[in-house]
Structures are given as structure tokens and as C-alpha cells.
Amino acid sequence: GIQVEQSPPDLILQEGANSTLRCNFSDSVNNLQWFHQNPWGQLINLFYIPSGTKQNGRLSATTVATERYSLLYISSSQTTDSGVYFCAVITDSWGKFQFGAGTQVVVTP
């Protein structure tokens, strides 16, 4: 099956810093999502981005499908950005998702 690898596994940031999270996948995909898991455990949709670039406030994402990676950018980080960030790809025609292991982000004041 498709392998999804995220890096780095952990990230500690000072408030106000910028950062880049990476998601590599082992095969061609048509769909990719980024999620943020908040401290209460819920996964919040950030981006649906099979290709190209999208921006939402201080967050933006880029997927280069031909090179099999996606990047999530966090600018001017805030303590509320803390949590785990997951990317997920659809692996078959039925719509099943494969998740990466996640990047744990801690933003310190």
C-alpha cells in the first residue's frame, strides 16, 4: 500500500516563529488532506489539497503531486497552533485514507 511519511516527528517553536512540515507519499495520489488535532483530540480539517497551493490565514499548504510531497507552512506561530498535524491520502477508489504518523508541534510563549 501507499506509505505516508511525515517530518519532523516533533517540533518546538517559539511564539512568532515560522515552520514547515513535510509529508511524503510513496505513490501517485489524487487526494491529500492536512489535519490539526487539537488538545482535546478532535481532528480539524485544514486543507484539502491534491495539488497546487492554498492559504488560510497564517497557514498555507503546497502539494507537488508529481514529486510526491506536500508541505504545510505555519507562519507567526501562536500557542494555539500546538497539537499534532497529520496528512492523509486516499489510497483506493473506495476512498479509504492512509495517515502519516503526524508531527507534534509545541509552541512556547
Partner 1 sequence: DVKVTQSSRYLVKRTGEKVFLECVQDMDHENMFWYRQDPGLGLRLIYFSYDVKMKEKGDIPEGYSVSREKKERFSLILESASTNQTSMYLCASSSPFEGTPEAFFGQGTRLTVV
* Distance, CA of 89 to CA of 79 (rounded, Å): 27
Question: Which is nearer to partner 1, 42 or 76 (by Cβ)?
Answer: 42
- Number of residues engaging partner 1 in binding (CB under 8 A): 22
Q: By the 8 A CB rule, do 74 and 92 touch?
A: no
Residues 86, 103, 105, 107: which binds partner 1 (CB under 8 A)? Answer: 86
Torsion of CA 29, 5, 36, 95, to 10 degrees: 30
Q: By the 8 A CB rule, do 22 and 86 touch?
A: no
96 binds partner 1 (CB under 8 A): yes
24 binds partner 1 (CB under 8 A): no
**Min dist. Cβ of residue 19 to partner 1 (A):** 21
99 binds partner 1 (CB under 8 A): yes
